[in-house]
Amino acid sequence: MALWKRAGIYTVDITAPDGSRIRRSTGTTDREKAKEYHDRLKAELWDQARLKLKPKRSWDEAAVRWLKEKADKNSYRDDVQRIR
């Protein structure tokens, strides 16, 4: 388990099943909560890799991605209005 304490807050350092490295802050100073976060993140990554489950996305993430991809459209302003 790769938990590091930096400036009083625990940080996770994980190698995902696809080989990519993930480093994130847990946002907590409690080691037990940080371990729980680590285990949940590791299980979620395993599910995505082995069971082909897609990660849950929020509406905001989808809207931002849509706007970035369609920035060159003539009706871009209309799209922004509709998304709002």
pLDDT of residue 32: 95
Alpha helix (H) residue ranges in 51-75: 59-69
- Residue 73's region, left for phi above 0, alpha for psi from -120 to 50, else beta, is beta
Across the chain, what does the average pLDDT equal? 90
pLDDT of residue 33: 95
pLDDT of residue 28: 93
Dmax over CA atoms of the chain, in Å, equals 52
**Is pTM beyond 0.85 here?**
no
Predicted confidence (pLDDT) per residue in 50-77, tens digit: 888 787 788 999 899 989 898 888 888 8
Q: Is the pLDDT of residue 1 over 80?
A: no
**Domain locations along the chain:** 3-50, 57-84
